Structure 1
Amino acid sequence: MPIEEGKIVDGVVANITKFGAFVQLSGGKTGLVHISEIADTYIKDINSYLKEKQEVKVKILNIDKDGRINLSIKQAQEVKKSTRPVEIDWQQEFKKSQSGSFEDRLSRFMKESEEKLQEFMKNRESKRNGGYSRKGDFAQR
């Protein structure tokens, strides 16, 4: 099977380093999966994600002019989440917002606004104090 950019192929982890893992592809070629291309999360220790001789699916990102192959495990994984936007029935949403009298809608709006403002002020105050909610907390720690 020829090695081409963009293809997803099977491989076996041949060697693990601090900066990534070398994966043996079919045909005897070896490519590098950089640490940033192993998972979507921060990786401190590659050994917690991969083991030598482990079979993995990799996507061939590119092959440079010197023949080095750059691979990605995270891009080879199937996208499980739907990338399609959520359908919203705007007519239904409009009808919901129009239910009740003007006074009811105004009172609901005022209540929601007050809650949002209180949450905003609470977050702003905690950031201003370096994460502490009261001035006394800082002195006690």
Structure 2
Amino acid sequence: MELAVGAIMDGKVTGITKFGAFVALPEGRSGLVHISEIAYSYVNEVSDHLHEGQEVKVKIIGIDQANRINLSIKQVEPPPQRAPRQGGGQRPGGGGGGRPPRQGGGRPMGFVHQAPKEPTDFEDKLKQFMQSSDSKLSELRYIEKKGGNRRGGGGRR
């Protein structure tokens, strides 16, 4: 099977890290599922959702210049539907406080929810760049942490 962006395939989890999980793919290849691509819910610990040897269905979401494969488990399925709010947002015992409903869909400030829209080339490239960058930084931090402190005992503060 051709390994191309958008392809969905079966794989097996071969390693768990703080920043994601490595998955073995067909043709002897492997890729990384970043912690942000494991589930639609917040993932604090990768090991709470995945374990080594587990069979998973993954989607290839990026292949960088070094032929590293970025994978997603959550993009295989559509996002879960949110339950509609009950009660119209009124406070108990006092009506709505005398205020008219907020404009902008009634969402708290700072939370932006966009309806899924047709991806554009720039947005796809930006998303792939950000995921690749996050992956590289996480990998470097992990390697640095694993290798110990190489700055010596008299480092700056």
> What TM-score range do you get, normalising by the shorter chain?
0.5 to 0.7
Match of 2:18, SS state, is coil
Correspondence for 2:24: 24
- Structure 1: gaps spanning 5 or more residues: 82-113, 121-141
CA distance in 2 between counterparts of 1:79 and 1:39 reads 9
- Structure 2: gaps spanning 5 or more residues: 82-93, 101-157
For the 8 Å contact 2:40–2:79, the answer to whether it is kept is no
Once superposed, what is the RMSD of the aligned Cα atoms?
2.3
Q: Does 1:41 align with 2:41?
A: yes
Per residue, is there more helix in 1 or in 2? Answer: 1
Tell me which amino acid in the other structure corresponds to 1:67: N
| Structure 1 outlier segments of 4+, above 3 Å | 78-81
Match of 1:117, SS state, is coil
Superposition deviation, residue 116 in structure 1: 1.2
Q: TM-score, normalised by structure 1?
A: 0.58
Superposition deviation, residue 79 in structure 1: 5.2
Q: Which has the larger radius of gyration?
A: 1
Match of 1:39, SS state, is coil
Q: TM-score, normalised by structure 2?
A: 0.52
Superposition deviation, residue 31 in structure 1: 0.2
Q: Does 1:117 align with 2:97?
A: yes
**Which is worse superposed, 71-80 or 60-69?**
71-80
Q: 1:80 to 1:18 in 2, by over 3 A?
A: closer
CA distance in 2 between counterparts of 1:80 and 1:18 reads 25
Number of residue-to-residue matches in the alignment: 89
Superposition deviation, residue 50 in structure 1: 0.2
Superposed CA offset, 1:85-104 (max 9, x none): xxxxxxxxxxxxxxxxxxxx
Superposed CA offset, 1:43-81 (max 9, x none): 111111001010000010011111000000000124565
Q: Percent identity?
A: 51
Superposition deviation, residue 119 in structure 1: 8.9
CA distance in 1 between counterparts of 2:11 and 2:78 reads 16
Q: Please show how residues 1-141 of structure 1 align to structure 2 within 5 Å.
A: 1-78=1-78, 81=81, 115-117=95-97
For the 8 Å contact 1:57–1:77, the answer to whether it is kept is no
